[in-house]
Amino acid sequence: MSTTTPATADEVKTAVTETNTFTSDFGLVSLQPSAERSFIRADLTDPLRSHAGTAPVGMLVTVLDFVASDPALVAAAPDWTATQDLALHMVEPITEGPIVMDSRLTRVGKKVVVVSVDVYDAHGRSDLRDIAAEIDAGPDRPDGPTLAARGLVTFARIPRSAAFGADAYTPDQWIGQVRKRAVVPIADPIHARLGIREVEPASGVLELDRTPFVANQIGTIMGGAQALLIECAAQAMRPDLLPIDMQMHFLAQVRVGPARTYGTVVRDGTDHSVVSIRMVDAGADDMTLTLATVTLARTGYRH
């Protein structure tokens, strides 16, 4: 159990920057060709790989949330957005990289914004404009980017004042530009760097403190960090399998922390398992934060 003194929401938000988070070594590069569409590229270095050598689902969910947020924020302006529901379904493993995602605005409503995302293995390519052109040219190009996953993200509109530093994040002003985030190397593997604690791993009980390293601009634990925690919980319950699909429903923000997961096995098949994960705020009377479903497969992917 955690003995860390919890930070206040204001303390967490004040300390959040683009270079002190668990994503600092992702090498993120963005291109927003229009208000309704955004691309992102992420490196797939050894510290970011799963134990099977592939891009882990938790990392993919993290990058998915980033790339989907840009067209969502443009569409929601002057409001800010918070991720409400997210789904990622794998097609093929990403083994080479870099990871490239193509997000498109799907629906704009009074209360929600929906963005769809295609995920690719770019097979060694690095120029994001060239990769985007290859994707637009169609799937028949030899040795071109290959579709690896598809995702869908629903964002809730919230007041812009709820996000720390929101005025500095202006994707509507970056249309047509390639934007590179600063890279700060992190030696720890992606799942180890968060400081996740295993309480009862066989039951999927794990904990993660709310710190600036894993927090977003509204002061809660970032959706991607929650995805990595959930991935670890599912993996702890079924260590011989590899997480491949994830659905997440964000119900509340972390007020105190730590975030704690509880797992339930929904189905065990001959080559896969389905696990339900409930995440709570252990410092706030176990208030339910997130509900997730994770599919794990013996070979990693179903064909």
* CATH (domain of 128): 3.10.129.10
Asked whether residue 89 falls in the same domain as residue 221, the answer is: no
Is 3 domain-assigned? no
Average pLDDT of span 260-283: 96
* Tens of pLDDT, residues 30-51: 999 999 999 999 999 999 999 8
| Count of domains forming the chain | 2
* Amino acid, single-letter form, for residue 80: W
Residue located via tokens 């590069």:
29
Mean pLDDT of the chain: 90
Rg (the chain; Cα; Å)? 18
Residue located via tokens 């009862």:
200
* Amino acid, single-letter form, for residue 186: I
3-state secondary structure of 117: strand
Asked whether residue 201 falls in the same domain as residue 249, the answer is: yes
Containing structural domain, residue 128: 23-188
**CA 8, CA 13: separation in Å to the nearest integer?**
9
Asked whether residue 62 falls in the same domain as residue 152, the answer is: yes
Asked whether residue 176 falls in the same domain as residue 54, the answer is: yes
Distances (CA, A) of 290 to 149, 166, 207, 259, 278: 22, 24, 13, 10, 6
Asked whether residue 151 falls in the same domain as residue 42, the answer is: yes
Phi and psi at residue 14, to the nearest 5°: -65, -30
Asked whether residue 118 falls in the same domain as residue 226, the answer is: no
Helix (H) or strand (E) holding 231: helix 223-237
* Tens of pLDDT, residues 132-175: 999 999 866 667 899 999 999 999 999 988 877 778 788 889 99
* Amino acid, single-letter form, for residue 142: P
Asked whether residue 177 falls in the same domain as residue 286, the answer is: no
pLDDT at 275 over 50: yes
Q: pTM surpassing 0.85?
A: yes
Q: Which of 160, 188, 216 is a domain's end point?
A: 188
